[in-house]
């Protein structure tokens, strides 16, 4: 009978120890998940800010590229004037 009680006590001790170990891990796991979730929320806020600034920058780039294309379309070609200048240099600068 003593052997059976010893066996039951050891089995109960092993089961109790396992439960104690797992309960501590779960508590630590819960703390870590809460911390990680808070960090994720902070990062998401930063991501939203970056997305907004990125959109603003893209809009500014589009506007400036449109302005550049307009000014380039208004500029006269300079190929003929360059040829005239080069001819002048050849003739009179020697």
Per-residue pLDDT of the chain (94 residues; tens, 9 = 90+): 888 888 888 988 899 888 877 776 666 777 888 999 999 999 999 999 999 999 999 999 999 999 999 888 888 777 777 777 777 777 776 6
Does 93 reside within a domain?
no
CA–chain centroid gap for 4, Å, is: 62
Is 80 among the domain residues? Answer: no
Confirm whether 70 is domain-assigned.
yes
Q: Is the pTM of this model over 0.75?
A: no
Number of domains within the chain: 1
Distance CA 53, CA 51 (A): 5
65: containing domain: 2-75
Residue 82, domain member (yes or no): no
DSSP assignment of the chain, as one string? -HHHHHHHHHHHHHHHHHHHHHHHHHHHHHHHHHHHHHHHHHHHHHHHHHHHHHHHHHHHHHHHHHHHHHHHHHSPP-HHHHHHHHHHHHHH--
């Amino acid at each position: 009978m003593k052997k059976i009680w010893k066996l039951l006590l050891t089995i109960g001790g092993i089961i109790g120890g396992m439960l104690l170990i797992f309960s501590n891990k779960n508590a630590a796991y819960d703390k870590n998940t809460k911390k990680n979730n808070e960090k994720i929320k902070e990062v998401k806020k930063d991501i939203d800010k970056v997305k907004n600034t990125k959109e603003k920058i893209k809009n500014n780039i589009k506007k400036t590229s449109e302005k550049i294309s307009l000014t380039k379309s208004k500029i006269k070609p300079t190929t003929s004037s360059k040829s005239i200048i080069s001819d002048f240099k050849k003739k009179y600068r020697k």
